[in-house]
Homo-oligomer: A and B are copies of this chain.
Amino acid sequence: MKLYGHPISTCTRKVLFTAQEKGHKLELVVVDLAKGEHKSADHLSRQPFGQVPALDDGGFALYESRAIARYLDEVLSGPKLTPSDAKGRALMEQWLSVETSNFTPHAMKIVHQRLFNPMRGQPCDEAVVAEATKPTGRALDVIDRQLGKTRYLAGSQFTLADLTYVPYLEYLVASKAGDLVEARRNVARWWSELSARPAWKAVTGK
């Protein structure tokens, strides 16, 4: 299996993390985002929106990181990252949707301003950060209440629903917004556990 992506892309990391949790290592083919390779005809034939990552599993082409993560969990050997019962799967999907719709779009606005803009020599707009902090905090409040009841989001099992938050949380903490995590006791405990997972450390090299 080949994964076309970039080592600092959150969506690429999400897929590499999934494979590592299953005990596998994907062959990463680097798409040079700085050179605009993700908008090349070559890459557009794999990912028509010009985004990363894209999977090639022996000729089977698949994109969208959360779809790839679910697929790898199904077809690779190793620990299951999806609950075995319908209600557990439903709760995993609920928290995956919360990540996609209620958490990540807001958290990434903070990351773009505080982390990515300075890397590109662009200014950080703190008004955007302040605006995005409110809904990011609201999502983390909801997550905190759930994690006061269960160890992981979908219950007692670590699932894809926890895994998908990790690349975004990593960058949020690196964006001097770690207080959003630390101020919430259960989120802080969860993040401490998630960020210490050997599979995640293998992805970040830390």
Q: Is the C-beta of A202 less than 8 angstroms from some C-beta in chain B?
A: no
Q: Is the C-beta of A87 less than 8 angstroms from some C-beta in chain B?
A: yes
Q: Is the C-beta of A172 less than 8 angstroms from some C-beta in chain B?
A: no
Q: Is the C-beta of A100 less than 8 angstroms from some C-beta in chain B?
A: yes
Q: In the complex, which residues of chain B have a beta carbon less than 8 angstroms from the beta carbon of A89?
A: 70-71, 74
Is B49 touching A142 in the complex (CB atoms < 8 A)?
yes
Residue of B nearest to A98 (CB): B64
Q: Is the C-beta of A30 less than 8 angstroms from some C-beta in chain B?
A: no
Is B67 touching A87 in the complex (CB atoms < 8 A)?
no
Q: Is the C-beta of A102 less than 8 angstroms from some C-beta in chain B?
A: yes
Chain A contact-residue range equals: 20 to 34
Minimum C-beta distance from A38 to chain B (A): 14
Bound-state CA distance A72–B139 (Å) is 25
Q: In the complex, which residues of chain B have a beta carbon less than 8 angstroms from the beta carbon of A70?
A: 89-90, 93
Is A63 touching B101 in the complex (CB atoms < 8 A)?
no
Q: Is the C-beta of A86 less than 8 angstroms from some C-beta in chain B?
A: yes
Q: In the complex, which residues of chain B have a beta carbon less than 8 angstroms from the beta carbon of A62?
A: 90-91, 94
Q: In the complex, which residues of chain B have a beta carbon less than 8 angstroms from the beta carbon of A66?
A: 93, 97
Bound-state CA distance A96–B62 (Å) is 13
Q: Mark A72-99, 1 if CB is under 8 A from B, else 0.
A: 0011000000000011011101101110
Rank and list the top 3 A-B pairs by shortest CB-CB distance, nearest first: A67-B93, A64-B97, A71-B90
Interface residues of A (CB under 8 A from B): 48-49, 60, 62-64, 66-68, 70-71, 74-75, 86-87, 89-91, 93-94, 96-98, 100-102, 138-139, 142, 145
